[in-house]
Amino acid sequence: MILNKLRLSLFCLLFFFVTTNAFSEVETAKQVVEKFQSELISVMKNGKQLGYAGRYNNLRDPVSNSHDLSKIARIIVGKEWEKLSEAQQTKLEDVIVKLSIASYAHNFKNYSGETFTFDSEEETTRGGVVVHSHLNIPDDKPVKFDYMLKENGTSWRIINIIANGVSDLALKRSEYTSILQRDGFDALVSKIDEKIDNYSKL
């Protein structure tokens, strides 16, 4: 009897330790954004030496771990998502992942003392969080970044970035939904592939 109680006590203690440790490891929305920004600056500092391919490879995990790219792919095409086959949905997610990484590898290729500064964060009415920050650029105006995040399971993930008031998600949705409705799925994928290819050359 005493042995059983001891085993139960040990089990409860172990369960408490494991669950408490798991919850303590969950990153806040602010932490997700700041970690990604730190990784982005790190790649920028070595941007020239890495080249496009090196920046792409180094940004693959940071982008994938901080952005909800599957959700972004669904939002981009809106109601058209339900009309796509499972294979098409998988294909679209794949090219959106590649496009996202490629755009960062292209747009953040040099470093001249840039730093990110956290401004504030706020909860949205739909349970999301917006993290406000800005990128300080020496001898130039800072760029304001508003990161919109939603919970994905037990973690926060970026679903949209608004730079100086311009929503990346809104721009993509306007362009890509139009192509999908007018020219079809294959034309949309070709357009995205073309953009990815251009990023690697510029």
Lowest pLDDT segment from 14-28, 99-113, 134-148 = 14-28
pTM summary value: 0.85
Q: State pLDDT tens for residues 133-169.
A: 999 999 999 999 999 999 998 899 999 999 999 999 9
In this structure, how many other beta carbons lie within 10 angstroms of the beta carbon of residue 40? 22
Handedness of CA 35, 159, 115, 105 (dihedral sign): positive
Q: Decide if 75 is inside a domain.
A: yes
Q: Decide if 22 is inside a domain.
A: no
**In which element (H, E) is residue 117 found?**
strand 115-123
Q: Decide if 14 is inside a domain.
A: no
Q: Given pLDDT bands bounded at 50, 70 and 90, which one contains residue 18?
A: very low
For the chain, the 3-state helix, strand and coil shares in percent, each to the nearest 5, are 65, 20, 15
* % of the chain residues with pLDDT over 70: 88
**In which element (H, E) is residue 16 found?**
helix 2-24
Asked whether the beta carbons of 162 and 146 are under 8 A apart, the reply is yes
- Total domain count, the chain: 1
Token reading at 63? 């982008």
Task: Tokens 């929305």: give the residue.
Answer: 29
Q: Decide if 7 is inside a domain.
A: no
Q: Decide if 19 is inside a domain.
A: no
CATH number at residue 38: 3.10.450.710
Strand partners, 130: 122, 148
Q: Decide if 10 is inside a domain.
A: no
The Cα–Cα gap between 69 and 99 comes to 10
